């Protein structure tokens, strides 16, 4: 059973989850962020997408509408936020929502090994400590097809003075230790350690709260042992 200490809710406090969509729209230029993320995902020509930490389902629905023939599985640890995602994605036949922890993915029925050729995760990894980030990345590898792509869209080193100040506020809310690797720019080296070849790392989206980066990696092909 999920207890309140298992994860950091989307806006740090469980009572604030219902405000998440409004906050993201007001402070993150959400439509533009979703559009850019969908474009990156579309370029991978996916067959089956896992959205890791789907939250209220805004990206899930955007992906479902942009790629109506592609199966999309949204995974999130928080049963309350999944209810919001369920309401938002109602009637989207290519969407399945699952409750589960990125740190214990083997326990999630429906995430069979080697199923997804694209995994996307938006604004999730800054909720995890550095060790947890590595663990979640390694777990994601286990549900990927060979050569699959991982697209992480998350905070990175702030580009600009306003973004430095804004990101300090985000860190105050979400926690300084979980956001350290994002601020320091060490997410790519964690991806490499977890088994990804880095394909692209760049600032994707400027907001008043900081800079959202794109970290894209390809699962390192499994080489036969001699």
Ligand X SMILES: C[S@@+](CC[C@H](N)C(=O)[O-])C[C@H]1O[C@@H](n2cnc3c(N)ncnc32)[C@H](O)[C@@H]1O
| Pairing state between β 196-207 and 116-122 | unpaired
Q: State which residue, 53 or 217, has the beta carbon closest to ligand X.
A: 53
Alpha-carbon separation of residue 157 from 126, 154, 202, 207 (angstroms): 12, 10, 10, 12
Q: State which residue, 32 or 146, has the beta carbon closest to ligand X.
A: 32
Does 102 participate in binding ligand X (rule CB under 6 A)? yes
Q: Is 182 helix (H, G, I), strand (E, B) or coil?
A: helix
Half-sphere exposure of 46 (CA within 13 A, CB side): 31
Using CB under 6 A, pick the residue from 41, 44, 50, 58 that binds ligand X.
58
Does 63 participate in binding ligand X (rule CB under 6 A)? no
Name the residue whose CB lies closest to ligand X: 55
Does 125 participate in binding ligand X (rule CB under 6 A)? no
Q: State which residue, 87 or 222, has the beta carbon closest to ligand X.
A: 87
How many angstroms separate the CA atoms of 170 and 140, rounded?
26
Does 54 participate in binding ligand X (rule CB under 6 A)? yes
Q: Are 95 and 60 in contact (CB under 8 A)?
A: yes
Using CB under 6 A, pick the residue from 124, 137, 204, 212 that binds ligand X.
124
Does 173 participate in binding ligand X (rule CB under 6 A)? no
At closest approach, how far in Å is the CB of 9 from ligand X?
6
What separation, in Å, do the N-terminal and C-terminal C-alpha atoms of the chain show?
Answer: 43
Does 49 participate in binding ligand X (rule CB under 6 A)? no
The piece of 7-15, 89-97, 186-194, 198-206 that touches ligand X (CB under 6 A) is: 7-15
30-43 helix and 20-28 helix, angle to the nearest 10 degrees? 90
Alpha-carbon separation of residue 163 from 121, 168, 205 (angstroms): 21, 8, 11
Using CB under 6 A, pick the residue from 89, 101, 211, 216 that binds ligand X.
101
Q: Report the interface residues with ligand X, using CB under 6 A.
A: 7-10, 24, 53-55, 58-59, 76-78, 81, 101-103, 122-124, 127
């Amino acid at each position: 059973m999920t207890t309140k200490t298992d994860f950091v809710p989307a806006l740090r406090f469980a009572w604030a989850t219902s405000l998440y969509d409004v906050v993201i729209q007001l402070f993150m230029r959400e439509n533009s962020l979703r559009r850019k993320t969908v474009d990156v995902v579309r370029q991978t020509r996916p067959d089956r997408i896992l959205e890791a930490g789907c939250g209220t389902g805004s990206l899930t629905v955007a992906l479902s509408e942009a790629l109506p023939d592609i199966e999309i599985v949204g995974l999130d640890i928080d049963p309350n936020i999944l209810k919001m995602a369920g309401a938002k994605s109602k009637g989207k036949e290519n969407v399945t929502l699952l409750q589960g922890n990125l740190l214990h993915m083997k326990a999630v029925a429906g995430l069979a090994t080697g199923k997804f050729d694209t995994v996307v995760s938006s604004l999730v990894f800054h909720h995890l400590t550095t060790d947890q980030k590595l663990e979640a990345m390694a777990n994601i590898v286990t549900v990927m097809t060979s050569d699959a792509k991982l697209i992480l869209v998350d905070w990175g080193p702030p580009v600009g003075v306003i973004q430095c100040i804004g990101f300090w506020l985000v860190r105050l809310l979400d926690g300084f230790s979980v956001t350290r690797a994002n601020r320091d720019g060490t997410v790519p080296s964690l991806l490499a350690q977890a088994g990804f070849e880095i394909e692209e790392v760049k600032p994707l989206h400027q907001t008043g709260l900081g800079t959202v980066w794109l970290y894209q990696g390809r699962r390192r092909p499994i080489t036969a042992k001699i």
